Structure 1
């Protein structure tokens, strides 16, 4: 990169140096302005910068960007985000795996959304307060704790409306929204070698500069369309110099040249007066005045003839009718919209401002390259064209209603009326009325020929004023109405005057003497008159020169910041440093998830100085991947791309994964668990959110298999009646945990019930029913865990036949289980008939029923050891006797 930079203009090398030395490669506003000034200097439009130094190899390795690993230590307490309970802390292990289980609707996704705003994510979710609560909640806040390297843990009271610490973007987040972007979007390569990262930031800066210069250039181009003052004699030095006042001119006149030409010395002024007097009756000079008058009057006639048509009575009537039609159609559309969208949370849906957004979104959908569709994408999972997030079911339904409204008769009539009114208004706005004082100045010499001609000049300027007023009243119905004008009479007089002037000029020219001395005097008089006029127009002319210089310089600036050379260099470096390795990692991950039966292809590109990659199907043309692959294959492919993309960061930075196994079969569920645990074994901080208990158990099992390389902490996110959503239970497991954990929980609950005094309440009945429901499930778990010795385990695909040696079921065991289950079931899972209304169980009865299970557990465990010993002996051959 250094060699390439030294071949570029000096500002490019200096810009790369500044980016390399900046924190996170991001330049401050002041440095951005310094680079902009350097570009202007390189384009010949400004002074040299105070400091401009080239980049060197030492700068590439000397960046101040933090390279030490950052780990997330805690999210929460959270205030006023979603419906998450306050005073909850979700802590994460800095090493190994943090496994967070939460059922649907528990609040788990709220913490994921916060993580996506804090860390690196292809998509970011908007954080909201409790949308079901009335009134305004307090400000949203999140306490965030993180550690960089071996530093002390930092604590941040984060406001989601502000930017999160850049260092947290080391940590990457994968969830269902990001999965869609990996499958069907072109994605930036996130982790790049330092040289590529510097070039990408340089490309981004060049795009920002190009947008700024382009905006300025368009404004100047509009201003330069206004014609320069007319009335100069062809062939004079002033006329030639004015012709060079164009940004495309090979040689713009200098300001000194213009000022010098416009400045008449005292001798030249006297000469002008003398020659004017001497040639006052000169036929050639008089003929020139006549011919100039013909040119100017002909142009005036053309303008008046055009304005007579463009501002006619018919145009006014059509415009008035179009306004009435639009007002009526717009009112009908508003009434239709208020009935259709009156319940929407934001007022004005269907109105004019809303339609502007809708039309802009339609234009963006095709990017100006295809015929514009009448509909916005409105299928669930399509990308919203405003926020670029996949549409939820409710958002898809809303957009479908929007599309239906836009295509309704009321909306179509309103659109047609609006378009017709705009077409007519644009035509009137395009009618150009010249400035009266400019026309009067140009016709001054003609008006001086005779009194009646001076009167015609005044009539022309009066007509211009009337056309100006007429145009204004047509464009703005709030202004006083101005009747349509008829320029027929003045046009007739102008044309007659042109004929007279042509005849006069011909007669004067034929009677003129053309001695060389006299011709020289005439030419000299024209030169002096044009120079005198130039002095009168000098400020306008100098402004045009300044605009032309600035316009040319902006064009040069835009050429300087073009990103084509950057993209070319990035492509070369990416292919050398990144692409082959990234493609290799993606294909390895695809094989790891057993997707090799699908013919995938990995491609890369550069656009606007950015590195992109995409994974598609060979031979599928432009068909989106999600139209071919199943939901499970899409999720596996997206996870493969995610793991491959982050695979280039030397396994140092953390990952947060939310529900990675949705729609996956059991085989791939296990493979995903193995891959994520393997990432933790490399040294990553791995944080997993899931509601899938099979996947939960697979992660626990795989982490246990690897032992100390993958320490694991389990947490539960629950919804409780007392605290609401997002309640954290640290070092805990789902209710489907082992029997001992269940018994501990049930004992605690019995103890809490023992402190009650009123047992005839609906609340107590719910607590008792919940207790017996969980007790019944615990007996079921006892059958699985104790009686069958985990030979067959729910949520685990394997059957451990070796454990049959511990299984022994007696009649007494059957009897105990049967009656215990019967007692628990009649108080929990069934609607009791009115004729069998047994009293509510007391806490003492619950304790006794729980003791039956506990005693059974203890007794059976003792017997299992004995049975296991006997059956272990059966595995050995019979001992032969010796004589």
Structure 2
């Protein structure tokens, strides 16, 4: 990393708040934030926001260039995957060892177990696949094994072999993130999801990682805010029977976090004198102005019922009812999940049902008795006292070790994440029930009388209101039933008349005004106003506790809002993206184009377009057409695979401290020409990093091994196979015969022949049988000599590629042709079925050794003659 970006980041970071400088420093030093660091930063933010913290907050250290450190860490080496248990059909304790320096090629037919190993590696290491369902690794669904899924991934990060334990569902281990995995699932994401550079060079990564820290802090603050404040403030709202602009109601509406206790006391003061005055005014108004009072009461009722109808129309809509069903189902599912966990955890308990609802009620009662009566404030469960074992709160008997352990298991289960989540989900259902509008006016005893008053004025509105009352009541019952788990009952349509009721209230007010002008004195209005003030003040006094609680919640909520403002990421994102554009974008595009050219897909009208996010810089594949934004809808499967490989190799090439790569089935859907290009590219990459390739394509296997050998790399090869019992077994004999080149075939023949001389002395018949088979392998090798040595792989069986530029190496003198014919004749003679008359004697061990030596000498002479022929020809320009 050059000094330029680091200097820019240092200057920029000094403009940030102290906690952000501290976060950048810790990220630069440790490369990650520990849980303690994260807690310290969160505490700093909360202190700045005005929270009262009891724990001291460490002083921030300003960010400086020295925190970047120097040098690179030693590259990680993937040594093996071992002790695999209960993964797909892989054999128990399955193991694969990898070449620690260059290239490992693992071959196996379909069902041999390759995918099982790859699925483990892609969940443990770095992959573009993020969908948990896609990353799920199945156990042996046919074997019925109860052993937990696990494996060990052995790495060397500079301190010797270190095992990293893998278990199903685990988050990718941080120490394995330098290892990148490419397979069919991730290939689709590289095409349609963009070639995302997830691990930026160190200096450029810091602002993006600071964004990640900010988002995590925001998530923590949001969760705290929801738990501490949530919608509790709305639950402290004071309900006035009649909505009006009295001082009491205005105080309740305008109460905020700055309202003092003194102001609350003054607004909510209601004495015995106030009550006497209220009674006096009520008597005066009822005696002299019954008509106006009735009209006033009717107006108040109409306005209240209109508001209640409007609230009920929303609270009991189809969407709301569906939400209640979903909320209840989520709670049931969460509890069932917790109970399933309990069933698995407590299978050996004396009595069944641990974790059930009745059991949990018993546990809660026992806890309450222990805390309230038996053991005071001691933490439940109490298993021992100063004098010895505690007594069980249920059976009153001293707790034996087995009982103590059982209580501790029960407590651990009650603290378990699944049970806590289930309890939280059940509380959400209870809170939803408590929050249902009570329909006070619609269910009041005087509703029918008021309805008749409305009917005398507007019959149709009275019918609509009565219909709404029935519908709202049924829907509220339906809501309660759904929250209780019963959504079988149908509910009527809900058509709220609140708008018409508000129009009626306006008419009634006009009528009241006219009536007052005609016969009411100003004093009567003054008394009515005073009565309203006293009534509402009395309600306010009754609910003083709610006022204080709401004020305190608003204070806390304001502190959270201030803290959340501290973790906004807009400015950091913009600056981070500017740095990426300046120092990285051109490198990504250049590398991507180079990879595409190597795979001969430059003709595809695609490229990379730069886009940004809150926590990462991302380069997405751009199909350069307005018809569709999905590249996979345009390209063939082979083009998609080549494009995905280009994106993957771009990513690992430019990734800071990128380590080994694991490539599964890289040439799926590719033609042979591009398959050869991929082999050449992966062999070249093996010069830069450790490369592990899984394939079922024997031709590609040969191409990859040939490309590696052509670049001076001796690949490590492994052959996997599976049978009816298990997969993932390693063939002790190595690669299948057709996957071996001439040199390895000769080596295998010599190895297989080594025990035969002793066999001749003990069983000439077995010797004849086996030596005849080996001569068949010699004949196969002579045939491969024609393809690989004489014609230099210009034409390969099974491929449609002809490398005409290699014709300059082809030369076969008469002498070598005769030697080839003679050797092939001997191989044919001893491998074919000969007459029973023993006209063709069985070759002796020394004869076989001589034939092998002749074959090896022939191969050397053919190579020498081929090289000499090439040197003797005029220099040819290489084909582009």
Tell me the TM-score normalised to structure 1 length: 0.64
- Structure 1 residues 482 and 529 mapped into 2: Cα distance closer, same or farther (>3 Å)? same
Q: Which of 145, 148, 164 is the aligned partner of 2:154?
A: 145
Offset of residue 181 of structure 1: 1.5
Partners of 1:225 and 1:107 lie apart in 2 by 59
1:197 aligns to 2:197 (yes or no): no
* Preserved contact between residue 718 and residue 735 of structure 2 (Cα < 8 Å): yes
1:611 aligns to 2:621 (yes or no): no
1:179 aligns to 2:192 (yes or no): no
Partners of 2:307 and 2:563 lie apart in 1 by 38
Offset of residue 643 of structure 1: 1.7
* Preserved contact between residue 638 and residue 668 of structure 2 (Cα < 8 Å): yes
Partner of 2:299: 295
1:136 aligns to 2:140 (yes or no): no
Structure 1, unpaired ranges of 5+: 324-427, 447-462, 485-495, 828-837, 878-883
Q: Which of 84, 91, 100 is the aligned partner of 2:90?
A: 84
Partner of 2:727: 725
Partner of 1:685: 690
Partners of 1:872 and 1:195 lie apart in 2 by 51
* Preserved contact between residue 284 and residue 508 of structure 1 (Cα < 8 Å): no
Partners of 1:429 and 1:297 lie apart in 2 by 24
1:435 aligns to 2:445 (yes or no): no
Partners of 1:692 and 1:482 lie apart in 2 by 60
Offset of residue 528 of structure 1: 4.6
Partners of 1:482 and 1:636 lie apart in 2 by 56
Q: Which of 788, 804, 807 is the aligned partner of 2:811?
A: 804
Partner of 2:780: 780
For 1:122-271, what aligned pairs fall within 5 Å after superposition?
122-123=128-129, 125-131=135-141, 133-149=142-158, 151-163=159-171, 165-208=173-216, 210=218, 220=230, 224=234, 228-231=238-241, 234=244, 236-245=246-255, 253-264=259-270, 269-270=272-273
- Structure 1 residues 852 and 814 mapped into 2: Cα distance closer, same or farther (>3 Å)? farther
- Structure 1 residues 239 and 441 mapped into 2: Cα distance closer, same or farther (>3 Å)? farther
Partner of 1:600: 606
- Structure 1 residues 300 and 593 mapped into 2: Cα distance closer, same or farther (>3 Å)? closer
Larger mean Cα displacement after TM superposition, 91-100 or 298-307: 298-307
Partners of 1:804 and 1:609 lie apart in 2 by 61
* Preserved contact between residue 198 and residue 616 of structure 2 (Cα < 8 Å): no
Partners of 2:870 and 2:196 lie apart in 1 by 60
- Structure 1 residues 557 and 188 mapped into 2: Cα distance closer, same or farther (>3 Å)? farther
Structure 2, unpaired ranges of 5+: 1-8, 326-432, 451-466, 493-503, 797-801, 873-880
Larger mean Cα displacement after TM superposition, 663-672 or 272-281: 272-281
Partner of 1:25: 32
Partners of 2:313 and 2:105 lie apart in 1 by 78
For 1:584-733, what aligned pairs fall within 5 Å after superposition?
584-619=590-625, 621-649=627-655, 653-682=659-688, 684-707=689-712, 711-719=713-721, 725-728=727-730, 732-733=734-735
- Structure 1 residues 818 and 201 mapped into 2: Cα distance closer, same or farther (>3 Å)? same
- Structure 1 residues 614 and 285 mapped into 2: Cα distance closer, same or farther (>3 Å)? farther
Offset of residue 19 of structure 1: 4.4
For 1:385-424, what aligned pairs fall within 5 Å after superposition?
none
* Preserved contact between residue 604 and residue 614 of structure 1 (Cα < 8 Å): yes
Q: Deviations over 1:816-866 (max 9, x none)?
A: 746854774669xxxxxxxxxx99xx9xx9985998765433345567889
* Preserved contact between residue 757 and residue 845 of structure 2 (Cα < 8 Å): no
Tell me the TM-score normalised to structure 2 length: 0.64
- Structure 1 residues 107 and 465 mapped into 2: Cα distance closer, same or farther (>3 Å)? closer
* Preserved contact between residue 98 and residue 686 of structure 1 (Cα < 8 Å): yes
* Preserved contact between residue 16 and residue 198 of structure 1 (Cα < 8 Å): yes
* Preserved contact between residue 608 and residue 621 of structure 2 (Cα < 8 Å): yes
- Structure 1 residues 438 and 869 mapped into 2: Cα distance closer, same or farther (>3 Å)? closer
Three-state SS of the structure 2 residue aligned to 1:120 is: coil
* Preserved contact between residue 785 and residue 859 of structure 2 (Cα < 8 Å): no
* Preserved contact between residue 198 and residue 618 of structure 2 (Cα < 8 Å): no
Three-state SS of the structure 1 residue aligned to 2:140 is: coil
Partners of 1:217 and 1:873 lie apart in 2 by 81
* Preserved contact between residue 47 and residue 53 of structure 2 (Cα < 8 Å): yes
CA RMSD of aligned residues (A): 5.9
Offset of residue 189 of structure 1: 1.2
- Structure 1 residues 847 and 85 mapped into 2: Cα distance closer, same or farther (>3 Å)? farther
Offset of residue 69 of structure 1: 1.8
1:566 aligns to 2:561 (yes or no): no
Three-state SS of the structure 2 residue aligned to 1:603 is: strand
* Preserved contact between residue 823 and residue 854 of structure 2 (Cα < 8 Å): no
* Preserved contact between residue 283 and residue 509 of structure 1 (Cα < 8 Å): no
* Preserved contact between residue 98 and residue 714 of structure 1 (Cα < 8 Å): yes
- Structure 1 residues 788 and 634 mapped into 2: Cα distance closer, same or farther (>3 Å)? closer
1:57 aligns to 2:57 (yes or no): no
Partners of 1:506 and 1:725 lie apart in 2 by 94
- Structure 1 residues 206 and 861 mapped into 2: Cα distance closer, same or farther (>3 Å)? closer
Partner of 2:368: none
* Preserved contact between residue 86 and residue 150 of structure 2 (Cα < 8 Å): yes
- Structure 1 residues 849 and 48 mapped into 2: Cα distance closer, same or farther (>3 Å)? same
Count of aligned pairs between the two proteins: 703
Partners of 1:186 and 1:721 lie apart in 2 by 39
